[in-house]
Structure 1
């Protein structure tokens, strides 16, 4: 499955110089020798174009999926769909096997600041609005935690709204691009390039999201390999998944609900106080060298003032 850089028949090319018959014959013979046959397509037949805006415009079916009879016997309902070419001059192929997708249990997601939020025009304004409201309520000092919680809620709400809008916008633009490419020619070449550029902006935001989640420090901002980082992030998720766990009585648990209860019980016991006496605490700390002086402790425990907070966030 991929770019074979050759056509099988003359009807798989439109425009440009006619392909020589012997070239196509060699391609057909190579497939026959390997016991392979074309899986066909759904959608637009042509998968590549030179994007010229004049009468030299050419489009061909260079990308395809092939298989042997044994593979086809296993995946009887498989088909190949030709998708819209968002950025490349080749249209991507989607191989559908018509299999039931596996169900994945997802727990509550932790809040993490997304780097892509800084690219949103409304991000700074949302944070300012939250802090201004809290400032009028005199929430500084011990209310700093409430400020952070409010900022978190505002960012999550902004993210949800922006994600929905961008997903809808990307879907609409992709559908438009697909319709334009079904009738692709020199007459609409410039319009296709314009829509592809708009889609590229949406994809750049998605690329930034996966870069952050992949946590690869050596990645340079100018490079783009979203497929690699998507796979990298998914691999991290697989490594972080827990399929089974043993409780304090050495009983194995495999269901997500049971695993969650075991963790909950373990940390409740771990952080439950046994009401030690002050003598017991002093005995534990006797061998620990003090690093924080009384003056340092006084400075760390005093109340925040407005000027300090403003200076810190500027």
Structure 2
């Protein structure tokens, strides 16, 4: 299917399916318009630009003053969870970074058009404020995409161009299944219907559930951990261990809450502004 850039940008979430040839001398193309998807809660990710959002310090202080009991790691996790909830609301109130850039640019253009026939000093000051606001939103957007992409495309000089943003939007649908063809050759659309078709297909392919018989484990040879390993597994989690784990975080990552609680993935940088506030 061939279309221009304007058409693709208008139907980013659309899909094209190639039908069977049949008696025709060519394959028919079926275009399915974007459908309403079931909303799922997105994983929380902390981005560095959030530190500069007004009210950030108040949110952190409120979350970290949460009264909770238990060991240090339980208190740490509970307050980190409260931090996530409050930061999610703060980010929602702040608005989408790309929309903020578009709105700031539109407001600046509107004032500049009005200034063509009016040179009032008030408008000059307003223009200056809008320029500063636009620059600030551009810095936020650049930081957001740089951290989200986790690649060095900006360092290589590719620039913050529209092609990159279009690719980000197009990748949104890359691993999603919107439509499936059933055994009768009918196209089925919708998440739940597609899920049912996939489940029924694999149930018929794999057959019914097989009941496994129990077996004696006494004669099975298993490796036994050493005494030092057992002591390490049973060691008490301390504030020093939590702080040392936070210090191992890699820079310019956007970890979620559970990633921070995993000892195998404690990246440093995305929460570097929180370390001294939280601990």
TM-score under structure 1 length normalisation = 0.47
Tell me whether 1:302 sits opposite 2:235 in the alignment: yes
Q: 2:50 aligns with which of 111, 117, 135?
A: 117
Answering whether residue 131 of structure 2 is matched by residue 196 of structure 1, we say yes
Query: d(CA) in 2 for partners of 1:180 and 1:221?
Result: 34
Q: How does 1:41-60 map to 2 (within 5 A)?
A: none
Matched, 1:161 2:93: yes
Query: Which ranges of structure 1 fall in alignment gaps of 5 or more residues?
Result: 1-100, 267-271
Say yes or no: does 1:127 pair with 2:60.
yes
Contact 1:214 1:230 in 2 (8 A): no
Residue 236 of structure 1 corresponds to 171
Cα RMSD, aligned residues only:
4.7
Q: How does 1:38-187 map to 2 (within 5 A)?
A: 102-115=34-47, 116-120=49-53, 122-134=55-67, 136-138=68-70, 140-142=72-74, 144-163=76-95, 171=103, 174-175=106-107, 177-184=109-116, 187=119
Structure 1 217/166 Cα, relative in aligned 2: closer, same or farther at 3 Å?
closer
Match for residue 36 of structure 1?
Answer: none
Q: Contact 1:245–1:252 (CA<8 Å) still a contact in 2? A: yes
Q: Look up the SS of the partner of 2:73 in the other structure.
A: coil
Q: Which secondary structure state, in structure 2, belongs to the residue aligned with residue 213 of structure 1?
A: helix
Alpha-carbon separation, structure 2, partners of 1:263 and 1:302: 45
For 2:23, the equivalent position in structure 1 comes to none
TM-aligned CA distance change 1:236 to 1:169, over 3 Å:
closer
In the alignment, is the contact (CA less than 8 A) between 2:73 and 2:238 conserved in 1? yes
Secondary structure of the residue that 2:64 maps to in structure 1? helix
1:141/1:305 contact within 8 Å kept: yes
Aligned length in residues? 203
Pair 1:216 & 2:151 matched: yes
User: Cα distance 1:245–1:196, how it changes in 2: closer, same or farther (>3 A)?
Assistant: same
Task: Give the drift of 1:159.
Answer: 0.9
Distance apart, 1:152 and its partner CA: 1.9
Structure 2 unaligned regions, length at least 5 = 1-32, 203-208, 247-274
Deviation at 1:311, TM superposition (A): 4.9
Q: Distance in 1 between matches of 2:219 and 2:194?
A: 37
- In structure 1, the partner of 2:192 is 257
Single out whichever of 219-228 and 144-153 deviates more from structure 2: 219-228
Could you report, residue by residue, the CA deviation over 1:144-169 in whole angstroms, capped at 9, with x for unpaired residues?
54344322212211111222799679
Provide the secondary structure at the position in 1 that maps to 2:43.
coil
Check 1:282–1:124 CA distance in 2 against 1; reply closer, same or farther (3 A cut): farther
What's the secondary structure of 1:105's corresponding residue?
coil
Per the alignment, do residues 103 and 123 of structure 1 end up closer, same or farther by CA in structure 2, a change over 3 Å counting? same
